[in-house]
Amino acid sequence: MNVLDAITKRRSVRQFRPGDVPDSDLKKILQAGRCAPSGYNLQNKEFVVIRDPETIARFQQVQKSFENVPVVIAVVMTPGKTPSGGSYWVEDCAACVENMLLAITGLGYASVWVEGTLLRHEPWVKELLGVPEDKRLLVILPVGHAAEPGEMARKAPLDEIVHYERYGQRKPKVE
Ligand SMILES: Cc1cc2nc3c(=O)[nH]c(=O)nc-3n(C[C@H](O)[C@H](O)[C@H](O)COP(=O)(O)O)c2cc1C
């Protein structure tokens, strides 16, 4: 699947049917995360891959989207500043998560960006996974097979969000 198709086919899937994700595909997904851009190229991200069904079952306490999920990727970030004083680690996390979501879609699997619900549970999930105190556990991605194809969520049409040359100019100038 080309990247533009993956962008339009990606959906947040919260219900999965049983089915495996082989290590060969998992590696491609992790490679997509690895290749993401990062501020100052700090690459301050690490991934914890979880296949243990007991651990995955515990994620149901975060939100009920982990049933029938064969593998979960937890994204661990090292907060910090670049030498020029910028703090980009949250953006770095987002870039690598989106890369992985697109790879997951491209390979025919499904996922959902679990961050909002994780936030409230971060301390015990960090402990569960043995993540060091000074790191942040920002996102967990279930990776599996969608129970249903699912519709694209509503996206604002381009004419509501695009401006030409200056903010407020809704149409491109015709010469
Ligand atoms: C920063 C961020 C945090 C999110 N956190 C959650 C979450 O905790 N649980 C969840 O089910 N979806 C979460 N989502 C997914 C959004 O709800 C979803 O992207 C949005 O509803 C649009 O749907 P779509 O992904 O199918 O386009 C999150 C998305 C982003 C970008």
Domain ranges of the chain: 3-148
d(CA 66, CA 64): 6
112 lines ligand 1 (CB under 6 A): yes
Nearest to 30 by CA among 11, 45, 13: 45
CATH of the structural domain 3-148, one choice from 3.40.190.10, 3.40.109.10, 3.40.50.300, 3.40.30.10: 3.40.109.10
117 lines ligand 1 (CB under 6 A): yes
How many helices (H) and strands (E) are present in the chain, helices listed first?
A: 7, 5
* DSSP per residue, 85-143: S---HHHHHHHHHHHHHHHHHHTT-BB--B-HHHHTTHHHHHHHHT--TTSEEEEEEEE
CA of 102 to the centre of ligand 1 (A): 14
Residue 37 has pLDDT above 80, yes or no: yes
Token pair of 32 as six digits: 């997509």
Residue of minimum CA distance from atom 25 in ligand 1: 12
Write the pLDDT tens digit of every residue in 151-170.
999 999 999 999 999 999 99
Query: For a substitution probing ligand 1, which of 12, 64, 148 has the most ligand atoms within 8 Å of its CB?
Result: 12
Token pair of 108 as six digits: 């025919």
Does pTM surpass 0.85?
yes
Nearest to 16 by CA among 114, 113, 144, 117: 144
Write the pLDDT tens digit of every residue in 121-161.
999 999 999 999 999 999 999 999 999 989 999 999 999 99
CA of 2 to the centre of ligand 1 (A): 23
Residue with tokens 């100052």: 40
Residue 85 has pLDDT above 90, yes or no: yes
Residue of minimum CA distance from atom 6 in ligand 1: 114
98 in Cβ contact with 158 (< 8 Å): no
91 in Cβ contact with 42 (< 8 Å): no
d(CA 125, CA 138): 10
87 lines ligand 1 (CB under 6 A): no
Residue 175's pLDDT is 74
